[in-house]
Amino acid sequence: MTSPPKAALLEEFATIARAMSAPHRLAILEQLAQVERGVEALAERIGISVANCSQHLQQLRRAGLVASRRDGNHVIYRLTDDRILVLMDQIRQVAERNLAEVEAILRGLSGGEEPPTAMDRDDLERALAEDRVILLDLRPDDEFNAGHIPGARNAQLDALAGAVRDAGGRAIVAYCRGPYCILSDQAVARLRAMGLTARRMAGGLPEWRADGRAVQSV
């Protein structure tokens, strides 16, 4: 029989799991991993009502996953802990290994082929220093301007050819928001269909920043 202290501890752990059990809440965490935002901006990005977004944020705040501050008449939200990024990535990894549906979705993003292995961030940092790769940031302009990997080029899916026209035999590495963002997967598939060598970076801008690596803003 579970002791009262153990039961209480498990209940608190379950609070975290419940807070992350809704797709919209995972989307909110992904957005806040890029830059702190107000509820209106979050609701617009995710495509839900402000009232619904506020309810999700309250669940995340009760679980200690987000914190807030006032900026005039606005309430601005942020992640409380970089380890939330690790937890999000672990969820993706467990899902990839154990849910056939996830594997099928990711394979579909790669045109039915096995996607190439993601590039380790240490290896990418060395390759950038040696000018051996072109690095593409697939996030929207405002996220790129708020912070990006030095040397990265902001590129959209419908303009990839122009972004890499000077590749000159260099490999191309793409990144976006983190473990749940599929923009880099889509970009890699399109670049490989063009006959170019491409792969995505392991993680995204938030993981790069959490490593303590340099980030540049516009």
Q: What confidence tens digit (pLDDT) does each residue in 161-179 have?
A: 999 999 998 999 999 999 8
For the cut 80, the answer to whether the pLDDT of residue 2 exceeds it is no
Position 91 confidence tier, pLDDT thresholds 50, 70, 90: very high
Q: What confidence tens digit (pLDDT) does each residue in 18-68 have?
A: 999 999 999 999 999 999 999 999 999 999 999 999 999 999 999 999 999
Residue 6 tokens, joined: 């153990």
What's the DSSP call for residue 158?
Answer: G
Long-range contacts of 22-25 (CB under 8 A, 24+ apart): 22/56, 22/59, 24/48, 24/52, 24/53, 24/56, 25/56, 25/59, 25/60
What confidence score (pLDDT) does residue 112 get? 81
CATH 1.10.10.10 region(s) of the chain?
A: 4-81
Q: What confidence tens digit (pLDDT) does each residue in 131-161 have?
A: 999 999 999 999 999 999 999 999 999 999 9
3-state class (DSSP) for residue 151: coil
Q: What confidence tens digit (pLDDT) does each residue in 96-129 have?
A: 999 999 989 988 888 787 888 999 999 999 999 9
Q: Which CATH superfamily, name and number, covers 107-210?
A: Rhodanese-like domain (3.40.250.10)
Check 53, 176, 187, 201 and give the catalytic one.
176
Q: Known catalytic residue: 53?
A: no
In order, the DSSP letters of 69-119 are EEETTEEEEEES-THHHHHHHHHHHHHHHH-HHHHHHHHHHTTTSPPPPPB
For the cut 80, the answer to whether the pLDDT of residue 1 exceeds it is no
Q: How far apart are CA 59 and CA 190, in angstroms?
A: 38
What confidence score (pLDDT) does residue 44 get? 97
CATH 3.40.250.10 region(s) of the chain?
A: 107-210
For the cut 90, the answer to whether the pLDDT of residue 192 exceeds it is yes
CATH (one of 1.10.10.10, 1.10.443.10, 2.30.42.10, 1.10.3470.10) for 4-81: 1.10.10.10
